[in-house]
Amino acid sequence: MRKNLLPVAALLLGTLFLFLGNGLHSLLLPVRGTTEGYSTTLLGLLGTSWASGFVLGCLLAPTIVKRAGHVRAFSGFAALLAIIALLTGLLVDPIWWVALRAFTGFSTAGTSMIIESWLNERATNESRGAIFSLYIAITLMGVVGGQLMIPFGDTSTTLFFMICGIVYCLAMLPTLLSTAASPQPLKQVSLDLRGLYRNSPISFLGILLVGIANGAYGTLGAVFGRQVGLTDSDVALMMSTTIFAGAVMQFPAGRLSDMIDRRYVLAALAAVAAVAGALIFLIEPTHVILLIALVGIYGATANALYPIAVSHANDFATPEDFVKISGGLLLLYGIGTIIGPTIGGPIMTVTGPYGLFMITACAHVLITAYAIFRSRMRAAVPAAERDAYSTINPGTLTTPESLQLSPRAAPFEEEPNGDEPTGRPQ
């Protein structure tokens, strides 16, 4: 294990800095924006802008990397992230923030795709699973670590904006100092909506709805927290609890989905997330412990939906189609995260801050209902024939390029005559 991870240790360190910056900046803007009195609708557009930039980055960044090369492109993207982080501290204006946030999303997609392709280039079939799991863990630790910086400073000053600029610059160093050869060109992923729907209707609609719910909460959760009277420390704890609970829940939920119809697991998890969201909306808890407990239940179930939906889609696909289908679903999720904050802001303006969880509850009720409906329309794949569950980051924490790192995307051996794959990884 140690021998396999040493060649990518520096790159993983750069990944940690990158996601520390992402976690801090993504929470800092809505917290500071609420302090400045910006409207919920404008703050929601921060998430819409970021997600739009991220999806465009997944589609267009490969062209930039081909022209500039991996190292120069990565340095350019990271430098742009640092510049934007500093500019948002200098230009404290919602219109500027919304415009600049799109460039942050685009640059995040670019840097992430380069890191993921670099890791994939250095991974062997034996180390692929370990590197993939460690990469997911580092992205989650980075986001949570960045968010938990908030209690240790004053969000009304430029301090945290400067820290964001520093950590983004630190993320450049591992690739600049690396002596490893540049990886193969990045892959451009096409979005075949009809093909995705034909493959698995519940995965298609479910992931779109998960994107809407997670996009709304991920962008406006901090706004909700400040509007209901939470301190900056409580807001950071609430947002981090959501991510951490989702990470912990993925393994038991995934194991269960390997044993029974995944659509039943999707329905049950979505139902619990809907109940948690509805309770927050209806009883409007003001006690911090009760609120964070309910949000933790919500995060545990809501963030476990995405990888199970992807696994269900792959149950009906050939191994060779894993990257195409999973990459398409990831981009479809990105479309959902564009929609969520866009509708979330105006709804919270009309209904109040707790209206955020009315949005998530409605999305999860629809997932539950459609999963049950689809379970009666098509028989489940037998457990012995299913694609084994594998943890995948919930949401736009990674790009389609990361799917090349998944053990499910490992190349297959050919038979001695060179005609057909044996179905066993090399």
- Classify burial at 372, counting beta carbons within 10 Å of its beta carbon; exposed 0-12, middle 13-18, buried 19 or more: middle
Asked if residue 408 belongs to a domain, the reply is no
Residues 199 and 246 in one domain: yes
Asked if residue 406 belongs to a domain, the reply is no
Q: What is the C-alpha to C-alpha distance for residues 89 and 350, in angstroms, rounded to an integer?
A: 29
Residue type, 373: F
Q: What is the C-alpha to C-alpha distance for residues 291 and 368, in angstroms, rounded to an integer?
A: 24
Residues 148 and 195 in one domain: no
Residues 210 and 266 in one domain: yes
Q: What is the DSSP letter of 123?
A: -
Residue 141's domain comprises 1-188
Specify whether the CB–CB gap between 385 and 291 falls below 8 A. Answer: no
Res 423 pLDDT > 60: no
Residues 194 and 166 in one domain: no
Residues 1 and 125 in one domain: yes
Higher per-residue pLDDT: 326 or 80: 80
pLDDT in tens, 328-358: 888 888 899 999 999 999 999 999 999 999 9
Q: Which two tokens stand for residue 326?
A: 């999973």
Residues 105 and 229 in one domain: no
Asked if residue 340 belongs to a domain, the reply is yes
pLDDT in tens, 67-102: 888 888 888 999 999 999 999 999 999 999 999 999
Which of 131, 156, 188 is where one domain is finished? 188
- The number of domains in the chain is 2
In percent, how much of the chain has pLDDT > 70? 81
Which of 138, 153, 188 is where one domain is finished? 188
Q: Which two tokens stand for residue 423?
A: 């179905």
Asked if residue 419 belongs to a domain, the reply is no
In percent, how much of the chain has pLDDT > 90? 49
Residues 265 and 315 in one domain: yes
Which of 133, 165, 188 is where one domain is finished? 188
Residues 268 and 384 in one domain: yes
Asked if residue 49 belongs to a domain, the reply is yes
Residues 176 and 201 in one domain: no
- The percent helix, strand, coil of the chain (3-state, each to 5) is 80, 0, 20
Res 241 pLDDT > 60: yes
Task: For 389, list phi and psi in degrees, rounded to 5.
Answer: -60, 140
Asked if residue 420 belongs to a domain, the reply is no
Residues 149 and 205 in one domain: no
Res 322 pLDDT > 50: yes
Give the residue from 399, 418, 252, 248 showing the smallest Cα distance to 323.
399
Q: Which two tokens stand for residue 20?
A: 């520390």
Res 421 pLDDT > 60: no
Residues 86 and 201 in one domain: no
pLDDT given for residue 416 in this prediction:
41
Residues 149 and 280 in one domain: no
Tell me which of 58-67, 148-157, 409-418 is least confident: 409-418
**CB atoms closer than 10 angstroms to residue 281:** 20
Higher per-residue pLDDT: 365 or 320: 365
Give the global pTM: 0.85
Res 268 pLDDT > 50: yes
Instruction: Map tokens 């500027």 to a residue.
Output: 96
Tell me which of 192-201, 262-271, 313-322, 387-396 is least confident: 387-396
Residue 423: its H or E element: strand 421-425
Specify whether the CB–CB gap between 235 and 150 falls below 8 A. Answer: yes
pLDDT given for residue 63 in this prediction:
87
The enclosing domain of 109 has a CATH number of: 1.20.1250.20
The mean pLDDT of 375-392, rounded to a whole number, is 65
Of the ranges 199-208, 294-303, 412-421, which is most confident? Answer: 294-303
pLDDT in tens, 51-64: 999 889 888 888 88
